[in-house]
Chains A and B, each alone.
Chain A
Amino acid sequence: MSGVRLFLMLALGVGATAPAATFGRAYPLLGEFSDLALDEPRSLLYLSNFTAGRIDVWNLNSGSLEAPIRVGINPSSVALFPDGKSLLILNFTSPSAFVVNLETRAVQTLAIPPVADAAGVPVPANLNLPRAVAFGSDGAALIITSHQLLRYDPASGLIAVLVPQLGPLLGALPVPQPTFPPEILNARMAVSEDRNTIFVVGSFQPTLHFAFYYDVPTRRLVSRCASAVSSPVRFASIARDGLKFMGGGVLFDRQLRVLADFVPSGQLPIKVAPTTVSAPPPNAPPPRPEAVIGGTEFSRDGATIFASLVDPTARDGPPLLYVLDSDNLTVRERILIPDRLFGKMVSNAAGTKLYALSEAGLTVLPIGELAVAPRLAPGQDIIGFRFNVCSKLPTTVTFEVVNLGAGSVPFSLSTDMVGLRLEPSFGTTPATITATFDPEKLNNVRGTALGTIRITGASAVNVAESVRVVANLQDTDQRGTIFPQRGTLRDVLIDDARQRFYLLDSERNRLLVFDLNDFSLRRTVRTGYFPLHLATTRDQKRLLVTNAQSETISVINLETLEFEGFVYCPCSAYPRSIAFSTNATLAITAVDRPRTFRTADNQTSVQLVVTEGRVNRVDLARHVVVEPAASLGIFINDVSPRSLLTATPNGALILIGEDAGLAKMYEADSDTFVLARAISDRPLRGGVAATDAGLYNAGAVMLGSSLIPLAEFRDSPDEHIGLVFTGNQIVRTLKPATGGGSGLITRVDAGTLQSVRAVKLAEAPLGFPEDQPLRRSLSGTSDGRLFVLLSGSGFEVVPGSFDAFVSPPVARSVVNAASSTGPVAPGSLISIFGDNLAPLTSRAGAAPLPTFLADTCLTVNNVPVPLLFLSPGQINAQLPFEVTGNATLIIHAPGGVSDPFAFDTATAAPALFQSNFGGQASPPLPIILRAFNQEPVTVSNPARRGDVLVLFGNGLGRVSPPLASGAAAPAGALFRTVAQPAVTIGGRPAEVLFSGLAPGFVGLNQLNIVVPPDAPLGFGVALQISSGGVTSETVLARVAAELER
């Protein structure tokens, strides 16, 4: 182990006893702790030891305990007086508090005044117990008891009642094991840096949880909802400026609107009503609270939230500290910490250390050193292998493993992908990993196999992002091109007018905007938390995205692709789906509501929280979703929270599909719901689609104009996935219900509503997660030219002609791509002319070039050919470096397999590429640049004697060191041609400075030469390249006298 790494690990307190490194250090302390207060001037931390009945005093410098402050009570909360001279300690078990002078340790008792209930009847003193305290900027303390909100003014010693009937809060002793103090206290506070805002969270009842803040200057309580969130909130934090709050895993803005309700699992938490309810057995302990446990704290700059959030239903796994974006809680990093946090976490003034209550006692996290802490990460988060009928040899892909911190970190790799070999599988960062996949392991199962590569390191303190592995095997009878995409994709929509399409990624909270012509990513736009569904406004100027675990809908301007702001939902209503009609804009929101259920014997009632769906109207002008009406016309406003909305293209109707097998219809003209029907006895899974002509689809059910089921696709062993109406076409996708395979795309006969002409896809469409059984996974252009669907590895683009009959391909000539004549050389770019060569025009994306494009592949001497461009009449490709001598070309296209086409190759076949330089040159000019000004040689930019010229050509043959066919020449290395070409200008030999591959390009040759000093002058001086006994065609260039500069 290097000295630097050892020093780092010691400095960070990393890995003293744990098998894997962790960030920070946990200090085991005897007792259970309810609160802490940081006293930086004294370098002390006061820890309220709830079970031992004392305040433990922790010395920040020595990292050890000093003599405790013994109070003999269960201290529920502590707060340092603003002058720093005293400590206020609340008593959990009696209506009192203690003021401890920190210099003399003298203790003064403070009695909490008695309280009366709404009827004026005094509440027993033992029921008005203090729970949490924080000091405001006015020097007074805000105290929340189990019944009241109080203001204690130390100057006068008076305690005033701010809210007499707040409670009762939950929480009484004894409690079942293991229950930690934060789960008992049911009220927590956090105060802003200027102490003008005190944020308070807690629970009154098992199902009623509050969040409000006290504005100290105005002495005003600000709250928004009767029940702020659906789950108990056990800890609170506040941004320095007081503009954002965290209550448990919920991020609030200053108006207490929920910006994000964090779900560690990444799945929408839908609380389903039980079919049967059983009463708890007699004398059974109360169930453990279902609170998210952990702790949170904002960074000094407010841009980051450090959070340890554990789903109560999934406490397994190592303790983690999430590093989150403070606007939408996108997870930036997952840091391994030594202990599970439980409750308050505070930052020092410099923002370099976090002190947190934890299971063991106290955990200290030196976040100021996080940037240099060893953290592993992959250089790319997804790698792909593509195989086809032309290419079934093992393929390699490289990726990097890096350390995001300082220095090098040892790492090891593991994978669940059968057939994937990683070399090296362990090492030290930075490292380049070669991943080799043997397609034999796919067992000829066509479609995509997915796997992951895990990166771990004994000294790394983070959970490194895994690398997703995509291995696709495609034959020419499969349609579509796959575009692997990392993330959790939730929706897809084509924007015909702007020639782009949109994808929603709920893992990274973003909208992805792709070009509809070349399928490249144009823009990434941040959304709110958990984007689920999107829709465009009727004027097509804005895109609205429902953020399913927040009270917000993102509004994105489609002209600028900028986020414009939020539409806010009512209290606790989380938007799930949205649609625009010519009248109302409707949104489905999900709300967690406490509901009472009777046991089967009808003897006992049990209260449970259930997630319910409501149909709301959206007021775009006011940027609000209005409170839901009680009814939808004559129907009760009660829909599944998993419902999906869609409007007819003309906006006259909005269709709701519900996973429970229901469908409802809103009519814009009458501005009400006119239909609600049970359409299937099976749960709906699929999308929801509608036409203007009275034909609709919900899940696998086709519906008529009155929502009467016309047909239901029963596709066993396949599963219906998506359906789209484009023009007068109906197209749908299916995937194998179990096992591997590539899925199908098929048309639906509009008359019979039967699937016709099913064709295999390149990979199977994406199935449905439990939390989203209804979603749009297929979108098409309005003219049916193209379809985009969510697929297993990302998304897939399928041409509208997927089922068209195509004649077999016929090759007629193979020529040098630069000169359009023969011969051709290994590694050079070639053009193949013929008929029915490919079903459509398509271009390869980035290098390395694919050997399968637009459902077409070709081999020369059985070697797969990297493809640049395909069209029915022409293919541009790179002749593999391996090909020599007599060659035979075979094309595999949707129409079949071509007859072998024989052609000759030469060791070199030099030619210069020509270009019209974006329309500036007519006729086209040879691509010769003057190194002096990097502009092409023309009559007004002549090559001058002594100039260095850069020539871009083709056909100079093999290179050294060898480079894989289809790969771009890396920028960091030079690949020189094996044969040295000769260049003449006006018959005079030119010095060749470099002959090789142009960096960053596939197969493109570059020659750097010097114009001879005796080169003839003139407008049409002949330039020729010779190599391997072959001389290029003559090109003419203007040569002028040398110019002194």
Chain B
Amino acid sequence: MKSENLMRMRVLGMMRVLVIVLLGALGSAAQAGDKWEISGIGGASFYPDLKASGGNPLRAAKFGFFDGITAGAVVAQTGGGHWGGEFHYLFQTNNMRLRAAEGASGSADFGAQSHAVHYDVLLYATRKEARVRPFVAAGPGFKAYQTSGQERAFQPLNNIVVLSRENDVKFLVSAGGGVKVRLAKGAQVRLDVRDYVTGIPKNFTAFPGVKLSGQFHNFVATGGIGVVF
């Protein structure tokens, strides 16, 4: 089976799980008489580099993603108490990068983007009647990494890490917080900060004898505006 089809099926499967979770939450919220929020969000996305090293002689490189921008949507369930839940979708444009570390020189980049979906449970500091509602959030999800770059025969540092034209889906854990501020009846703005943690997608292919270590922490700061009903 072709790898992209495989990835698409995986994403669809995960979306299905999340939609079921969301629908369940919506059903229970409707029974409880909770309010709902739909927001559009946008912001910036940053990744600290990871390190690859190995080979004989030892060579090393830092790999990761360039800073990028992100945009997405939030569907939130706002209960009467301090708890809530949110379904997030985020599209991110962060090109892949590779930079020399010890024993090597050069740098490389490769076009890439990602789609992330996750469900967060929110713990608010104030009740829903408050105008300002700080919160902390955490939850699971999935992130699909995609590439758009062209393979190059002589990619620098390809004896350490190859930036490959591959697609991959990784489980993610979201953790962070934010604040929601009601502007008027039915309207609110929100600020969020998240750390999305995933494993290393296979877009980064280690040259034999080289080890890729760590997990990607994707720090995303977003602002958004939405309606509450």
Contact = CB atoms under 8 A, between A and B. Distances in A.
A138 B5 CA distance: 85
A938 B153 contact: yes
Chain B interface main SS type: loop
A917 B154 contact: yes
Contacts of A940: 151-155, 158, 162-164
A1020 B2 CA distance: 22
B208 A1044 contact: no
Contact of A1043 (B3, B162, B208): B3
Contacts, number: 50
A1040 B3 CA distance: 11
A917 B164 CA distance: 21
Which of A933, A937, A938, A1041 has most chain B Cβ within 10 Å? A938
A917 B4 contact: no
A994 interface: no
Nearest to B150: A933
B208 A1019 contact: yes
Contacts of A179: none
Nearest to B151: A941
Nearest to A929: B153
Given A917-B154, A921-B154, A933-B151, A939 B3 contact: no
A1042 interface: yes
B211 interface: no
A670 interface: no
Interface string A936-955: 11111110000000000000
A1042 B208 contact: no
A937 B158 CA distance: 12
A1020 B4 CA distance: 24
A37 B152 CA distance: 71
B114 interface: no
Contacts of B151: 933, 935, 940-942
A1020 B5 CA distance: 27
Contact of B5 (A917, A939, A1040, A1044): A1044
B158 A938 contact: yes
Contact of A939 (B4, B162, B165): B162
B159 to A, nearest CB: 7
A1041 B154 contact: no
B152 A939 contact: no
A1044 B162 contact: no
Contact of A941 (B3, B153, B207): B153
A1042 B158 contact: no
B52 to A, nearest CB: 14
B152 A1040 contact: no
Contacts of A935: 151-153
Contact of B207 (A920, A939, A1042): A939
A695 B18 CA distance: 98
Interface in B8-61: none
Contacts of A1042: 2-3
Interface size grouping (class) on chain A? 10 to 19
Interface string A1022-1045: 000000000000000000111110
Given A938-B158, A939-B207, A940-B162, A1041 B153 contact: no
B2 A937 contact: no
Interface size grouping (class) on chain B? 10 to 19
Interface string A916-928: 0100110000000
A942 B207 CA distance: 12
B146 to A, nearest CB: 12
Contact of B154 (A920, A933, A1043): A920
B208 A917 contact: no
Contacts of A941: 151-153, 155
Given A939-B158, A940-B163, A1042-B2, A1020 B208 contact: yes
A1042 B165 CA distance: 10
Nearest to B2: A1044
A294 B168 CA distance: 83
A936 B153 contact: yes
Which of A939, A940, A1044 has most chain B Cβ within 10 Å? A940
B154 A938 contact: yes
Interface in A882-939: 917, 920-921, 933, 935-939
Interface string B157-181: 0110011111000000000000000
Contacts of B2: 1042-1044
Contact of A1040 (B150, B159, B164, B208): B164
Contacts of B162: 939-940
Which of A917, A921, A935, A936 has most chain B Cβ within 10 Å? A935
Contacts of A1044: 2-5
A281 to B, nearest CB: 89
B97 to A, nearest CB: 14
Interface string B119-155: 0000000000000000000000000000000111111
Contacts of A939: 158-159, 162, 207
Interface string B201-212: 000000110000
Contacts of B207: 939, 1019
A1043 B151 CA distance: 11
Nearest to A1018: B208
Nearest to B108: A940
Nearest to A1042: B2
Contacts of B165: 1043
A632 B11 CA distance: 96
Interface in B184-229: 207-208
A939 B98 CA distance: 15
A914 to B, nearest CB: 14
Contacts of A920: 153-154
Contacts of B3: 1041-1044
Which of A1042, A1043, A1044 has most chain B Cβ within 10 Å? A1043
A1043 B150 CA distance: 12
B215 to A, nearest CB: 24
Nearest to A920: B154
Contacts of A938: 153-155, 158
Contacts of A917: 153-154
Interface in A431-452: none
Contacts of B164: 940, 1040
A935 B4 CA distance: 23
Which of B3, B154, B162 has most chain A Cβ within 10 Å? B154
A933 B4 CA distance: 20
Nearest to B165: A1043
Contacts of A1043: 2-4, 165-166
Contacts of A942: 151
A23 B18 CA distance: 87
A954 B133 CA distance: 75
Interface string A845-856: 000000000000
A1041 B166 CA distance: 9
A1041 B7 CA distance: 14
Nearest to A1038: B162
Contacts of B154: 917, 920-921, 938, 940
A1040 B158 CA distance: 15
B204 to A, nearest CB: 12
Contacts of A921: 154
Contacts of A1041: 3
Interface string B60-87: 0000000000000000000000000000
23 contacts: A933-B150, A933-B151, A935-B152, A935-B153, A938-B153, A938-B154, A938-B155, A939-B158, A939-B162, A939-B207, A940-B153, A940-B154, A940-B158, A940-B162, A941-B151, A941-B152, A1019-B207, A1019-B208, A1042-B2, A1043-B2, A1043-B4, A1044-B4, A1044-B5
Given A920-B154, A1044-B5, 10 more contacts: A935-B152, A935-B153, A936-B153, A940-B151, A940-B155, A941-B153, A1019-B208, A1042-B3, A1043-B3, A1043-B165
Q: Which 4 A-B pairs give the minimum distances between C-beta atoms?
A: A940-B155, A935-B153, A940-B158, A941-B153
Interface of A: 917, 920-921, 933, 935-942, 1019-1020, 1040-1044
